[in-house]
Every structure is written in structure tokens, then in C-alpha cells.
Structure 1
């Protein structure tokens, strides 16, 4: 399964990628602009998306991703320190499928990735 981490904090993104690799996932990371470029050549099954980014917030990135027809089955997880209530309404409207609070143990995010991943991952 392929997972894309989108975060402006490279250390956070690299750490998440390392955990995912140890768990057997193929993972990559990018900031908000780079992710929109790379998804034309590499299609993830799950996108873990930070909300608070300086150039383009996660809601706008999610909307841009959802406009790409080849990503209609990809799951998008909001991964943020913002409170769940603040994210759910806007996130749902932007095409996000789930929420995971930053600071939780990595196992919480791993379980959520497994839950929201498309069933037809080969």
C-alpha cells in the first residue's frame, strides 16, 4: 500500500515515513506544492495531510487532490493538532475521509490508515 505524507514540517514527515516503511508500507512525503506535482507520476492509496501549512492549507490541498480523477478512491486523512470539531466539518466538505490528531502514538495513525485504505489495494 502506498501512503503519501503531506506536511510542511519535514522532520515530522520523515519520521512518519520511517514508521510506515517499518510497517511494510511504501511511503513518500512532500509539502503541499510538491505533492500536487508528484501525484501525476505516483498514485498513493492513502494521503495523510497536515492542515496548517503556510502556502496552502490542508483543506485547499484536499480539494485540489479530489479534482484529480485518478485519486477518487484514495483516502485522505487530516493529520493535525487542531481540534477534531474544528476540522471535521471543513474536512468533510473538502473531501477528507478521516481525522487523526498529531501527537497520538503512531499506532493510532497506522490503524486508521488500514481502516480507510481502499479495499482493492494490490
Structure 2
């Protein structure tokens, strides 16, 4: 979920090419609308979005019972220190700085999905 359409589409296309199911939203309100009908495993959430910023959307997602467990990755051009100055990262499960190698994003996604799978497997036993 990103307000930069070309960036959102490019990231979505890369993830889709790697076999991920992708939905794109271009702002905080549209992100929440998409989440009414679709429950992803992980949300990539831009910090700087119109209407509601990424901090706001992440906090709202954590309050919606059906999707409160979904992994959320903060995506931004800021480094993690700058982000922490702007707001709490408590609602986020991961952090990806734009401009880093796309392969690092894939590695982060795979690690989060592996953790999720481990949690699901252990709770089923």
C-alpha cells in the first residue's frame, strides 16, 4: 500500500513475478477498503500516504480482529532511526528501506512467512 502509483505497481509486479498474490492500494483509505475484502499474510505499508499515514493504517489494522494478526512491513525512504523519531514502530513486524535491493525485500517476506508457518504448525499440534 503506497501513494506512489508507479512504485506500488513496480513492487507489485516484482512480487507477482515471484509468485506472490498481490493487491495494491494507493492511500490509507483505499488500503482499508482493500482489507475489507482481502486478508493478506503480509501488508507492505508505505509510511507517507495521504488521508492516513502508515502509522495510522498499521494501528487501525491491529484493532480489526479478523486481520490484527497480519504481518506488516513498514516501507519508506527513511532509515529506521528517522522513523522511530516520527512515531512508534510497535505495530510493524518488519522494516524495509526503499532503495535497498529488491532481493532483501523478498528475503524479509520469506522470513516472515516462515515464522507465520511455524506458528501455525505449532498451534495445530
Q: TM-score category by the smaller chain?
A: 0.7 to 0.9
Tell me the TM-score normalized by structure 2.
Answer: 0.85
Distance across 2 between alignment mates of 1:82 and 1:40: 29
Distance across 2 between alignment mates of 1:60 and 1:73: 16
Equivalent residue, structure 2, for 1:56: 52
Q: Report whether the alignment pairs 1:99 with 2:84.
A: no
Distance across 2 between alignment mates of 1:24 and 1:50: 22
**Segments of 4+ in structure 1 off by > 4 A?**
none
Q: Report whether the alignment pairs 1:15 with 2:10.
A: yes
Q: Report whether the alignment pairs 1:115 with 2:117.
A: no
Q: Report whether the alignment pairs 1:36 with 2:32.
A: yes
Q: Does the 8 Å contact 2:62/2:69 carry over to 1?
A: no
- Flag the structure with more relative contact order, 1 or 2, with Cα contacts below 8 A and sequence separation at least 6: 1
SS in 2 for 1:69: coil
Question: 1:78-121, CA deviations, whole angstroms, 9 ceiling, x for partnerless residues?
Answer: 000111112246111xx111111001111111111111122149
Larger Rg over CA atoms: 2
Relative to its length, the structure with more helix (as a share) is 2
Distance across 2 between alignment mates of 1:71 and 1:85: 27
RMSD over aligned CA atoms reads 1.6
1:66 aligns with one of 51, 62, 65: 62
Question: 1:25-52, CA deviations, whole angstroms, 9 ceiling, x for partnerless residues?
Answer: 0001102111101212110100000001
Runs of 5+ unmatched residues, structure 2: none
Relative to its length, the structure with more strand (as a share) is 1
